[in-house]
Structure formats: C-alpha cells, structure tokens
Structure 1
Amino acid sequence: MLYRQTIRWARAAELALAIDAGRERAQEALDALRRQRDDDRRPYLCLPARTDDLPAIEARAEAIRASGVGDVVVLGTGGSSLGTRALLALDGPTLGASSGLRVHVPDNLGATLMDAVLRDLDPARTHFIAVSKSGGTAETVAQTLTAFEAVSAALGPTRAAQAFTLVSEPGGSPLRRLAGQWGVATLDHDPDLGGRYSVMSVVGALPALLAGFDIAALRRGAGRVVDQALAPGADPAHVPAAEAAVLGHVAGEAAGAAIAVLLAYDDRLAPFTRWWAQLWAESLGKRGLGSTPVAALGPVDQHSQLQLYLDGPGDKLISLVKPVTAGTGPRVAPALTAGAGEGRLDYLSGRTIGDLVDAEADATAEALVRRGRPVRVLTIDRVDAETLGALMMHFMLETVITAHLIAVDPFDQPAVEEGKQLTRAALRGTGDALAAAVPAGLVSDLGVSAT
C-alpha cells in the first residue's frame, strides 16, 4: 500500500445516519468522476495515464540542460508554483544533485526577494521558467518583465530570449504576446486544467525533471488512486478520499468543524501541506461554505499549535500524515543517557530519532482522539515520488467530492477577481479607488512613531 487511512472519532456511531447519507452523495460524486475521466473531460483525472505529453517536456528540459546553466528559476505563484515546491522538497536538500541544476521558486512576490534573484544569480548561467495559465497573472508578469529586462541588459535581447521558457495556455494573453515578440520558447498549459490541479502536467513536470525528479513515478502513484476510486462498483466506504470527504462534511455539519488541519510528520512534506491548503481553500471556500485549511508540521508544531487542538475549541478536523520512521536516523547512545541521572532519559536510550518521531505522531493522534476530536491518520511507508503522487491525487479527489457534498464548483475562484481589479485600479490611479471601496463604518488608522 502506498498509504493507509485510519479514521477515529468518538461521535461516529451516533452520527451513523448522517454518515450513510453522506456516502450516498459521495457515490454520486464517484459516478460523475468516472464519467468525466472516461469522457476525458477533466485533465487532472487523465494525466496519470498519459505519456504522450512527456516527450515535448523532456525535450525542453534537455535543451535547458544543454545550454550549460547551473540555476533554474521558476516564476509563478499559487497553483503555478506550490505543486512544484512540493515536488522539489521531496528528497530534501540533495534533490537535483544528479542533474547538477539548482531550481529556485521565488513564488511569494516581494521587492527584496526579486532583487536577490536578479542580484545573486549569474544571468549567463540561469534559465527562467515563467508559469501562468492565464498569461496575465500580475505577479508572474511583473517577475518576468523585470527578469527579462535584467538579463537583456547583461547579455542582450537574443541571449535573453534563450534564457526563458513560458508555460501558458494558448491565446493572446500578455505573456504569450510578449514571448512571441521576444522569441521565447513556449509550452502550452491545458486551458481545461486549473492551476491548483496542474502539478502533474508541464507546470510541475518541467522544473521537476530538471531537478532529477521521477515524474513517471508521480503519475503512477496518482493513477493507482484514480483506478481504485473510480473502479466500477467502488463503494465510497472503501474509497479513502470519499470516506474522508464524508467524515469532513459530517464533522462540519454536525459538530461545527470549520477548520481542517493537515499535520505532516516530515520536513519533506511541509510544502505539500501548503499545496493542499491552496487546493482546499480556493476550491471550497464559496458562498459562505467550506472549512479553513491549516498547514502544520510535526513534531515542531506540537510545541506551537497542539495545545489549541487539544484544549481549545472543538472546531477542527485533524489529519496526520505519518511516514513510518521507526528505526531510522541517528541513534541515541545508552552511555550518554546514563549520565543524565537514573531513569531520566531511559525512554531515549538506544532509540533512534525516527523512533521518537514515530512515537510522537502516534501519541498526538491518541491524545486528540481521547479529547473527542475527529482524527484521520494517513500512514505512508515511504516518502517518494510514487507516494507523493498518490497523496496528491487523494486530496484532489477528496476536495472534489467534498465540493459535491456542499454543492460548490471546485474549479473556479470568483471572489478573488475583485482584489485583482482593485490592484490594477490602484496602480493605474492614485489609490482613490481603494479608499472609495471601503464601506461606511468604523475605520481605525493607528501607528507608532520611530522617533
């Protein structure tokens, strides 16, 4: 098994009728998903079985490698970068050593960060991959324009064009038009594939291949989840993504669980939890519905958040991702623990770091269950590309099934458009558009002087 899901909740028995009703609706979702896959209507469901798109991606990756660069910078944000970060983090700081390339993802736009990218990297040995489905994402456009200008100033426009690749949907978007004028190589982003569902496409595949990541294994893991979930006659009670969606829905409706926590017990999975948070929030937060995602990392967040989960409001559904780590990592020498005083560190004597993390994850889950919290544990045997693909597809399916249960569209994000419009208005004018948009009422504007 790539992963095993265990759900424990003291109130599950008393809510059996609601859970059964949720499973009936989850069955509708699975049937719809099966039809969409079979009709090739949802690219994220079909990508795991595809190989026809890989030659073009691999060819572009090889061309970038052949150019002799040492650094690759991915310019993008949100769905154009979070999945890539999750892939690149998989093997920790050694990922990419086999290819000799360092891949950077400065996805949180900031003046100092962009200054650092343009100041610290050698333009003659750096390749930039700009990723924007729409081709008009303000942050990515700004990154691309400033980077292209800097490289052009250093190397000239012809060599600058060779130092860029654009991934965007076909059409007349600003970045597509500019790429055409500059002579920049362009790869198509599937117009029917939303950014937050695009990690297994060229969006994640191109930078990940450059870092030596196994995209075929990623897709293979995802395919196993799709095949199991969408098999003819699949029972939602035996489909992990469907059962988790039902639990979350019932916990929200009957127990007021308005917060979903994903607590991963491995540093390599921290970016994965951030990818999940965007997937969950942007897909489900509509019309006053949805639950707030919290990305957490264990064991460190046991020392920052666990007190709240255990003894604060009972408004959370808590999911743990627990790699099996027992017996791994450095071992604590018994001779050293003996010096701390008799019995004080006996529990660590001869134990590995992995033993401690494993025990902490199990103990955290047990403590939460004893406090009556709904708890789901996803146990994984290995942290590798195939397992990550399975987890990513699991959460895509869980998100889409949850959307069916609460009757929202998981593929749009209508509310964020207002902020984009106000941003453009503020930059085009003097900021009056923002002030005019503030509703009448209490406005507090306070500060502390430095003098």
Structure 2
Amino acid sequence: MPYQHDVSRCMASVIGDVGLKQGELDAALGEAEAALSEIRQMYAGNTLPLLHLPEKRDDLAACATAAELLTRGASDVVLFGTGGSSLGGQALAQLAGYQVPGPRPRTGPLSAHKIHFFDNLDGETLDLALRRFDPKTTRFVSISKSGGTPETLVQTIAVIEALKQAGLDWNMRQHLVILSSPGNASDNAMRRLAEMHNLVVLDHDPDIGGRFSALSNVGMLPSMMLGLDPGALRSGAADVLQPILDGADAATVAPAVGAAVIHALTERHGLTTSIMMPYSDRLRLFSNWYQQLWAESLGKKGRGTQPVAAAGPVDQHSQMQLFLGGPPDKLLNIIMLQTAGSGPQIPESYRTDPLIGYLAGRTIGDLTDCQQRATAETYARNGRPVRTLTIDTLDETTMGALLMHFMLETIITGLMMKIDPFDQPAVEESKVLTREYLATM
C-alpha cells in the first residue's frame, strides 16, 4: 500500500472521552462490512464503472491522441469545467507542478504553468483572458458530463466566437476538444456544438459522476498533457481497491476503517467537521477536490459533516487556532510526506546563534517533518481526534491510491448513512431556478 493509515489518535484510550471506545469502532466496522459487500456486488454487476477504472486501459489511446492534438504547437491549454469536471484534474496537474510556487521544469508535452483551469464563471475574467491569449496557439478543452452545464456551455460558445473573430473557424477542430457523455445533438448541447463545428469529442462515461471522475479520461487527459503516467495513477488506485474485491475484512481495509471512524464519531460524539490538511504544496488542490467530494456526496437529508480544505504548515498560523481552541467537534486528517533530510540545509555556522542555533544543520524538510508530527500530537494531547496518512513518495502511484481511498471512504460512509452518495438534489434545484430567472430577464 502506498500509504500508512493510522487512526489510533481517534480512540478514547489516547484522547479521552471525545474519542471512540473500541466497542464503538467495532460496531461501526460491522456496518462497514455491509457496505463493502454492496461494493463487491456493484463491481460484479458492473453497476458502478468507477470500480473498473483501475484496470481500464482501452480509453488511454484516445486520451493520448487528444493530448497530442492539444499540445502540438500550443503556448497554452485552457480547460473549462466546473466542480468535479475540474477539481480532480487540478489535483492531478498539481502533481506535475501546476500552481506550485516557483519555476517548474517541463516534464511532458506542456509546462505546468501553461495549463489553465477555468472552473468558475466570471464574465470579466473570461473576457480579459480571451483578449490576452494568442488564439493561434491557445487550445481549449470543455468538459461537461451532461453536456448542458450552463457555465461551461457559455464559456465554450465564447471561445468559438473568439476563434471565429480571429479567422480560425476553418480550423476549429485543432483548437477545441469536447468531453461529454455519449448521446446525440438533439439532447446534448455540447455535442450539438461539436457537430456544428466538426470538433473532436471524447466520451464521458455517463455512469461516473463528475466528483468521482478523476481517474477517468476527465483526469487522464490533463495528466497526459503534463507528462504524468496514467497507468501508474490507476495502478495506485487498484492497490487500494483490490483488498475489498478480495473479500478482506473491514478492519483491514483502510477506506472502511476511515469511514467507520468518521461515522462513529459523527453519530456518537457530535463530530461536525472533517479537515483535510496535507503537508505538501503538491497536495493543496487535493484538499479542494476532497472538499467537493465529501460535501456533495454526503450533505443530504439534514445530515453530513462539513469538509474543510487546509494545508500545512501554513494553516498552523491561521485556522489552527480554531481547530484547537474552538469546539472539539472536528476531525483533523493529516497527510504526511516523509520530508526529513530534504531541501536546503541551514549551515552549521549558525549553531552558536542564540536565536537561530536550533535550526543549524537541519534541512527545510527536517522542520516540516517535525511540524506535521507535532501538529498531530498536539491535536491529540488536546483531546481532538486526528488521523494520519503517511506517504514515502508523492508520485502517480501514491496519488492514484489517495484518490481511490477517499472516493471509497466517501461511498462507504454514504452507504453506512443510508443515503445515496452519487446524487446532488440540492444542486439541481438551484439550476432550475437559474433558468427561470434567465427567462424573465
């Protein structure tokens, strides 16, 4: 397994009454067993294609062809999509350096600072971008599972019109790729645009929801443009899923243990918040992905816990005051990277300095290693539940494993809560009202 999962600091024997008694955890693990059985049935009946993604490879050739088309002669690639159509791709792109401070070497066909995710709709932002990008060398990808996401639809139409104004309507196919569910132009607006302008279209599996699509072509396309290995990403996911398919007990399956801990803390100890706090710049967008996954899957019927995206060590200087000094109703999830000995080293010449000497001979990685361990222990000593996922190396295999862990943990938690983790009824209501308002303008 590419990570070590430790929930010992969630137990009453370590943190006191706020934590779980062994009997409470055992009871929750019993409920998780039923959820694992249901997941095995989904796999066997192929009713949840997400579970077959780790073994899937036949979609990667189409992704590679599209990636080559999009990066050939490109100065920039822009990806339109909202929610799950973007957040998984962003988390994967960050592994290749996207939104990591400082210059990054080119590791694939496209440099990380030349890929842009437009995941929010803002007219002024898009207008400025379309005027500043060179239309001849900028490529675009529009991702919408339904084909009717209004934010992505208007962005795509704006790009088409901008390309026309630049005299590139004859070559639209080289500039814009669509990723949407199979269907026809009569009921899928994105496919209608693709048909009108002879665009390349990749099929979005209609049975994989956006927030669960990071390991599908939605995430593989930007990953391949940046030189990441899609096979390794999916192999890492397989490492996490396989024990479930092999019939392992819930107590030995990390996502089931995580789900059992969170469910028991919520139902029996008033947990209201789940904080994701990785100690790595390359996992900060992973926290954003987790936040949407957890919120949209489990916030239903007046129930659910609030996910919070955080990062270490920076949030030790901001949110940590609330985490430690506020109500004891928050679970802290720390992703630790083995950083000791890495990064620049502070010279020994500072050893005798009364203010700096304690850092002499230490590396930057030594400091962050101590900080992440100290945060976990401080949280526990203050009677707050904390679990850790420790990774040796942050690479494609590990990232694939982390993505699959939290998708499975979310699904198992939803099944334990007796809710559907795959729908989003509250979101649909606001979409309907938006269309009604547009009709009256």
TM over 0.5: yes
Say if 2:338 and 2:390, in contact at 8 Å, map to a contact too: yes
Give the partner amino acid of 2:89.
T
1:47 pairs with 2:61: no
- Tell me the distance in 1 between the aligned counterparts of 2:334 and 2:383: 16
**Displacement of 1:44 after TM fit?**
1.1
Say if 1:89 and 1:95, in contact at 8 Å, map to a contact too: no
Alignment match, 2:291:
277
- Tell me the distance in 2 between the aligned counterparts of 1:131 and 1:378: 31
1:282-308 Cα deviation digits (max 9, x unpaired): 000000111000010000000001111
- Tell me the distance in 1 between the aligned counterparts of 2:163 and 2:116: 17
- Tell me the distance in 2 between the aligned counterparts of 1:120 and 1:156: 16
The match for 1:169 among 172, 178, 181 is 181
1:179 pairs with 2:179: no
Change in CA separation of 1:250 and 1:35 when aligned onto 2, cut-off 3 Å: same
Change in CA separation of 1:65 and 1:247 when aligned onto 2, cut-off 3 Å: same
The match for 1:135 among 147, 158, 162 is 147
Change in CA separation of 1:223 and 1:95 when aligned onto 2, cut-off 3 Å: farther
Give the partner amino acid of 1:85.
Q
How many aligned positions are there? 425
1:392-440 Cα deviation digits (max 9, x unpaired): 000001000000111110110011111112222222214xxxxxxxxxx
1:213 pairs with 2:228: yes
1:91-170 paired onto structure 2 within 5 Å: 91-92=96-97, 93=100, 94=104, 96-101=106-111, 102-170=114-182
Change in CA separation of 1:14 and 1:218 when aligned onto 2, cut-off 3 Å: closer
1:47-86 paired onto structure 2 within 5 Å: 47-66=53-72, 68-86=73-91
Say if 1:42 and 1:193, in contact at 8 Å, map to a contact too: yes
1:408 pairs with 2:419: yes
1:294-345 Cα deviation digits (max 9, x unpaired): 010000000001111112101101100010100000111121353xx43x33
Alignment match, 1:293:
307
395-404 or 36-45: bigger deviation: 36-45
1:374-401 Cα deviation digits (max 9, x unpaired): 1100001011111000000000010000
Say if 1:323 and 1:383, in contact at 8 Å, map to a contact too: yes
Say if 2:11 and 2:22, in contact at 8 Å, map to a contact too: no
Alignment match, 1:436:
none
**Displacement of 1:116 after TM fit?**
3.0
110-119 or 240-249: bigger deviation: 110-119
Alignment match, 1:261:
275
**Displacement of 1:15 after TM fit?**
2.6
**Displacement of 1:149 after TM fit?**
0.6
1:141-177 Cα deviation digits (max 9, x unpaired): 1110111111111023222343110000022211111
**Displacement of 1:62 after TM fit?**
2.1
The match for 1:36 among 25, 39, 42 is 42
Provide the secondary structure at the position in 2 that maps to 1:252: helix
Give the partner amino acid of 1:312.
G
Change in CA separation of 1:229 and 1:96 when aligned onto 2, cut-off 3 Å: farther
**Displacement of 1:97 after TM fit?**
4.1
1:356 pairs with 2:361: no
CA RMSD of aligned residues (A): 1.5
TM-score by length of 1: 0.91
- Tell me the distance in 2 between the aligned counterparts of 1:63 and 1:140: 21
Alignment match, 2:347:
333
421-430 or 347-356: bigger deviation: 421-430
**Displacement of 1:57 after TM fit?**
1.5
Alignment match, 1:6:
6
Give the partner amino acid of 2:78.
V
**Displacement of 1:117 after TM fit?**
2.1
The structure 1 segments of at least 4 consecutive aligned residues displaced by more than 4 Å after TM superposition are none
**Displacement of 1:16 after TM fit?**
2.5
- Tell me the distance in 2 between the aligned counterparts of 1:282 and 1:246: 19
Task: List runs of 5+ in structure 2 lacking aligned partners.
Answer: 14-18
**Displacement of 1:235 after TM fit?**
1.1
Say if 2:10 and 2:261, in contact at 8 Å, map to a contact too: no
**Displacement of 1:100 after TM fit?**
3.7
The match for 2:402 among 385, 388, 391 is 391
Provide the secondary structure at the position in 2 that maps to 1:123: coil
**Displacement of 1:10 after TM fit?**
4.2
Aligned-residue sequence identity (percent) comes to 46
**Displacement of 1:65 after TM fit?**
3.3
Change in CA separation of 1:213 and 1:356 when aligned onto 2, cut-off 3 Å: same
Give the partner amino acid of 1:231.
D
- Tell me the distance in 1 between the aligned counterparts of 2:236 and 2:328: 34
